[in-house]
């Protein structure tokens, strides 16, 4: 997932916009065409072969474990909010 291990650094992946009313910052992803990949051979941590093996293993294991508690709570809140919008009328 993190291509910095193989020396690829991606610049301009996201853009931070500040809300002028609240002062809060919000991060937005930029389109693929705006991302600037830079290859730095001096910053390589692992070789390409090991990277590809790790990526293959990561994709094999993806979805093996159940949803985390944090995500579980988020999903249940969405379901509860949808249920709250549902109105049942007696016959």
Q: 3-class DSSP state for residue 24? A: coil
Please give the backbone phi and psi of residue 2, each rounded to the nearest 5 degrees, phi first: -90, 105
Give the up-direction half-sphere exposure of residue 33: CA atoms within 13 A in the CB hemisphere: 0
The one-digit pLDDT tens for each residue of the chain (91 residues) are 788 999 999 999 999 999 999 999 999 999 999 999 999 999 999 999 999 999 999 888 887 776 566 656 555 555 555 555 555 556 5
Q: What is the pLDDT of residue 1?
A: 79
| Kind and range of the H or E run holding 18 | strand 14-18
Find how far residue 40's CA is from the centre of its chain: 24
Residue boundaries of the structural domains of the chain: 3-84
């Amino acid at each position: 997932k993190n291509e910095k291990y193989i020396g690829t650094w991606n610049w301009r992946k996201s853009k931070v916009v500040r809300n002028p009313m609240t002062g809060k910052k919000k991060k937005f992803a930029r389109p693929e065409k705006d991302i600037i990949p830079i290859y730095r051979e001096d910053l390589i941590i692992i070789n390409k072969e090991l990277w590809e093996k790790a990526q293959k293993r990561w994709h094999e294991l993806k979805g093996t474990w159940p949803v985390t508690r944090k995500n579980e709570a988020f999903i249940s809140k969405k379901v509860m909010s949808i249920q709250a919008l549902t109105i049942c009328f007696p016959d």
